[in-house]
A and B are shown apart, each in its own frame.
Chain A
């Protein structure tokens, strides 16, 4: 049973109300009738039943979400980053109230806006019955009737005072499926945008923007060429060597000392002398002559004091490590080297 849509045009409200009344008397249900106006006529004026709006529900839920978000942003931040500021308590209540208030209002209004779209199924897809004359002040009464009653109803409308009646076929209606797809697409786009922003904010996608202080001029010279210690100058920590005397302040070999020495060896020596001190570190290939085999006969024959001097002053291609190792640390390394020789 095919249905057809009629759109009757009335000049003013009284005639429209009359038309609506007649439709009702003719057995057309209120649900089948809809009024379109360019001005917000109240339903009472047109003898239409009152309409309840569900927007307030949306707004209420939105406000609730806002409260939760507000609490999450504030208390959540305080708990995640327990940083003290200004002698305030970890969770300061007054600032929290401000944020919660703002986010509540934000949630309420955004939800109302969203609700407005959902309830009205905006944007409208498809071509539901409409006529330009409605925006010019005419009142349109849209009636959905079975095709066979079409002319009866049209007549009824004209009798009530309709200046014109247009017929629209079944196809002229809003396409809710497209609307659902559109909203789904919108959601997907929003999710994608969120992911994109997350990728950026976690620097998975890194924009090569200078971060200023990462390239530090104050430590730049730590990378630059090591400057040799001035010849014949004696640091405050004491001379490395005085003719006729052994090297100073040796540290007795102990498990703790050897352990420290191992760590320091790993930092300062391993890359050339190798893990076991056999002169086969990763950089050994670049050197000629090769770095010394610390477990070899030659080094075994050195006195501790000699090794101390080599570390302190450097020898051949080996640089002085005086800046890297304090005198006590040098002895730790020597103790470790001696342990390698065993």
Chain B
């Protein structure tokens, strides 16, 4: 072990100032900021890889429960496919609802991961480093689920490949006019590029894990790391590729949810055919997505003992983010509401009446409470933002609120077509409830298992950040400072 001490270079073991007062300040800065709190890479890696490999009782319990939910999902789906879509609560007026609500919701969740990784990378927000991979893994599983939702929803799911442009015996391809085709192209692009993006960013960490692990994990990481050594050429190419992905995936992300919004906006359904639906859905997606990332962060922090990486500063920043998104979302929602309200378009007036005083009022007010009142009332306070339980509480409320919002748009508005003879109300039945609960379980299972298989904190990004961050003394005060290396 004496040999090892030599590796602990001064970069990672920065001495405290002699002055006791300044030393206290530095200690405070280090406590607050992960990137100031530099530790030797070996130690950082150990903080990630250690808990990851220790599969405790809680993990197995979660695995069994979430695996059970996933199985419920698949079994219910098989039942529904064999019996027919009639087992759901859908009817001749409301032909879309449960699965499309889930579809929109999960696509929305999938937005935050890439947003945090790519957009914040482009903007050089270094604090995002420890969050990005957890967010990306959420993206991947949420998108996977979102991709299955239109399939679950199909009347003849065994013919799903008819929607794929591939030469076939039918001699017919899908119609590119259909928003469903746009959807599939956009989601496929987004999902595949998200997976590649996540994998690229993971390569150096997999190389670290390869060196540290043993047994089957060693073999797994050896294969996954592809012989990454960290040569200067590899690093440069990785940086370029990641930049291309970051710039590329941001417009794709916007397009995905815009296209999802167009699924609705392209129709003649009152309450759907609104031109603001695209940006409104994108913001809604980010809103619920950032909320979901906050929840995942809190859970992973607890489960994998990531207190070192995920600090108050991160929750604080995410809280601010949530608040800003809430403002933006309200702005769009108000737009979508105000204009038809002002026009007094009859059928939309019916919908508004329904929301404000009809049977849907409890849902609508809950949604407004969860999406507006609570975030606005609480998130301005640093205290709330920094308190993990409080912030998670708000984030959970936002999830509830955004789910209800999708429910109101998809299931309620659809029940009010222009000919009042056909109005209808959607009441969920057991199959779609089981499937919905099941897919939540599946996403949780995916993130849980993945967080035990790959380093869920990007070690190299944290270490790089720590390398580039230091303190600066101005007068008698110590401040965190950042080196702009690029």
- A and B in direct contact, judged by CB atoms within 8 A: yes
Spell out A's residues near B (CB within 8 Å): 11-13, 34-43, 45-46, 48, 51, 53, 55-56, 59, 73-74, 77-78, 80-81, 83, 85-86, 88, 92, 95-96, 98-99, 101-103, 105-106, 108-110, 112-113, 115-116, 119-120, 122-125, 128, 130, 132-138, 142, 163, 174, 197-198, 201-203, 209, 212
5 extra A-B contacts, CB within 8 A, seeds A11-B9, A109-B189: A34-B232, A41-B467, A55-B237, A109-B244, A113-B196
A133 touches B7 (CB 8 A): yes
- Taking CB atoms, residues of chain A closer than 8 Å to B11 are 11-13, 137
Contact of B9 (CB < 8 Å), options: A12, A128, A202: A12
The contact string, 1 if C-beta is below 8 Å from chain A, for chain B 216-251, is 000000000011111111111111110011001101
B163 CB to closest chain A CB (Å) equals: 13
- Taking CB atoms, residues of chain B closer than 8 Å to A56 are 240, 244
How far apart are the CA atoms of A169 and B340 in the complex, in Å?
A: 77
How far apart are the CA atoms of A47 and B204 in the complex, in Å?
A: 23
Known: A12-B10, A55-B244, A122-B226. A202 touches B211 (CB 8 A): no
A36 touches B193 (CB 8 A): no
B483 CB to closest chain A CB (Å) equals: 10
Query: Which of B175, B181, B230, B251 has the most chain A CB within a 10 Å cutoff?
Result: B230
Interface check B382, CB cutoff 8 A: no
- Taking CB atoms, residues of chain B closer than 8 Å to A51 are 232-233, 236
A-B pairs with the 8 shortest C-beta distances?
Answer: A124-B227, A11-B9, A123-B226, A137-B41, A201-B168, A53-B240, A136-B42, A106-B189
Contact of B177 (CB < 8 Å), options: A80, A88, A124, A138: A88
How far apart are the CA atoms of A48 and B232 in the complex, in Å?
A: 9
- Taking CB atoms, residues of chain B closer than 8 Å to A41 are 232, 235, 467
How far apart are the CA atoms of A80 and B173 in the complex, in Å?
A: 9
Q: Which residue of A lies closest to B158 (CB)?
A: A209
22 A-B pairs within 8 Å (CB atoms) are namely A13-B11, A34-B233, A35-B231, A42-B485, A46-B232, A48-B232, A53-B237, A53-B240, A59-B244, A73-B165, A77-B173, A77-B174, A77-B176, A99-B182, A103-B189, A112-B245, A130-B229, A135-B208, A135-B230, A142-B231, A174-B227, A201-B169
Interface check B88, CB cutoff 8 A: no
Spell out B's residues near A (CB within 8 Å): 6-12, 40-42, 45, 156, 158, 161, 165-169, 172-177, 181-182, 185-186, 188-189, 192-193, 196-197, 200, 204, 207-208, 211-212, 226-241, 244-245, 248-249, 251-252, 255, 259, 460, 463-464, 467, 485-486
How far apart are the CA atoms of A337 and B423 in the complex, in Å?
A: 65
A327 CB to closest chain B CB (Å) equals: 41
- Taking CB atoms, residues of chain B closer than 8 Å to A102 are 182, 185-186, 189, 252, 255
B345 CB to closest chain A CB (Å) equals: 23
A161 CB to closest chain B CB (Å) equals: 10
How far apart are the CA atoms of A173 and B231 in the complex, in Å?
A: 13
Known: A115-B241, A201-B167. A38 touches B463 (CB 8 A): yes
How far apart are the CA atoms of A165 and B115 in the complex, in Å?
A: 43
Query: Which of A99, A113, A132 has the most chain B CB within a 10 Å cutoff?
Result: A113
B188 CB to closest chain A CB (Å) equals: 7
Query: Which of B8, B244, B248 has the most chain A CB within a 10 Å cutoff?
Result: B244
How far apart are the CA atoms of A58 and B339 in the complex, in Å?
A: 47
